[in-house]
Structure 1
Amino acid sequence: MVVVVSQDVPSGSLIDAYAGLAGFHTDCYSAVVAGQVSLTDFVTAFYTTPLFRAERLVLRLAARAPSTDAQARAVADGTAERFAVWKVEARHNDEMILAERSGRTKSWFMVVAQDVDTQLLFGSVVVPVRSKSGAMVLGPVFDSLLGAHVLYSRALLAASTRRLPRTRT
């Protein structure tokens, strides 16, 4: 069984640029798995878990954003820039960040090789909006869903580890 933990956003990572911005929410969850895992395999596993397929169904119905496992793989391996409501914002060999089409939320993935293991990192960014008073706020919807977001993020990362290829190089 893989343990998912909350950790600080890694310094210098693609998500780090948002971590220090006033009003922004960033989070980072981590799990270590045996073997060497590529970013492609991690992102593909994440977006094709049964749990995330349920979210894809909601997005297909509510946001008119259909998606397939093949499209998830294409974004993961860099042959496509869009998947459902997300667009690749930045990518390196070991990490990528995708922005949801409104720009309010972003999803971040990173793999870190550790001898014979791989640390998988997943995080989110929520971009604040200006309130009537002029303050930058996340808003009552996000505030009310933060607890669920934390549980869902951890569950998605854990589910991803179970979908990784059994033989990793």
Structure 2
Amino acid sequence: MIADLPQDALLQRYREQGAYTDCFAIDVPRQVAHAAFVEAFYTTAVFKLERLLLALFVARPSRDAEARELAHGQRQQFAAWSVEERAPGQLLMCDFAGSTRSWLMVSPAGQGTRLYFGSAVVRSRQGGVFRALLGFHQLYSRILLRAAVSRALKAG
């Protein structure tokens, strides 16, 4: 599930700047559109818990309809994130504090699709708390990706 960050990944610029970056990927045996993957990612039960916490603690509520609009390029902000950049098959989001990035990408993989999820944490934010939570972050990232893959395959 841990993968190399593709050279054309929008997240690559943060790796080149020395930020912490990670990349996780899963190959699925059929075609999955980028919009379907993005919508599935942000509407899983796992991510809905994160959305609830964001609504409660930082007043950043969100709805599934907004996730759908984001996925289809009709929205630039979603919950605690805003779109930093889009490219074919990719979405790079920046959190409201500017300290983290979330990245989703799809690419062909044989007869199927490789689904990617990655993160970046800017260097100025990589203190002791970050290092202490890194293991949780990596586990949570794997859980999020698996949940999104499952949801995308059920939907499509």
Into which bin does the TM-score normalised by the smaller protein fall? over 0.9
Summarize the alignment of residues 46-57 of structure 1 with structure 2, pairs less than 5 Å apart.
46-57=41-52
* Residue in structure 1 matched with residue 68 of structure 2 by the alignment: 73
TM-score (normalizing by structure 1): 0.89
Q: Percent identity?
A: 42
1:33 maps to 2:21 = no
Residue identity matched to 1:147: G
TM-score normalised over the length of structure 2:
0.96
The separation in 2 between residues aligned to 1:39 and 1:58, in whole angstroms, is 26
| SS of 1:67 mapped into structure 2 | coil
- Distance (Å, rounded) in 2 between the aligned partners of 1:113 and 1:154: 20
Structure 1 residue ranges without an equivalent (≥5): 130-136
Equivalence for 2:135: 147
- What is the CA RMSD across the aligned residues, in angstroms? 1.2
Q: Which runs of 4+ in 1 moved over 4 A?
A: none
More helix by percentage: 2
CA contact (8 A) 1:9 1:19 kept: no
Give the unaligned 5+ runs of structure 2.
none
Look up the match of 2:16: 20
Based on CA coordinates, which of the two structures has the bigger radius of gyration? 1
Please tell me whether residue 96 in structure 1 is matched to residue 84 in structure 2. Answer: no
Match of 2:5 among 5, 9, 14: 9
* Letter aligned with residue 158 of structure 1: R
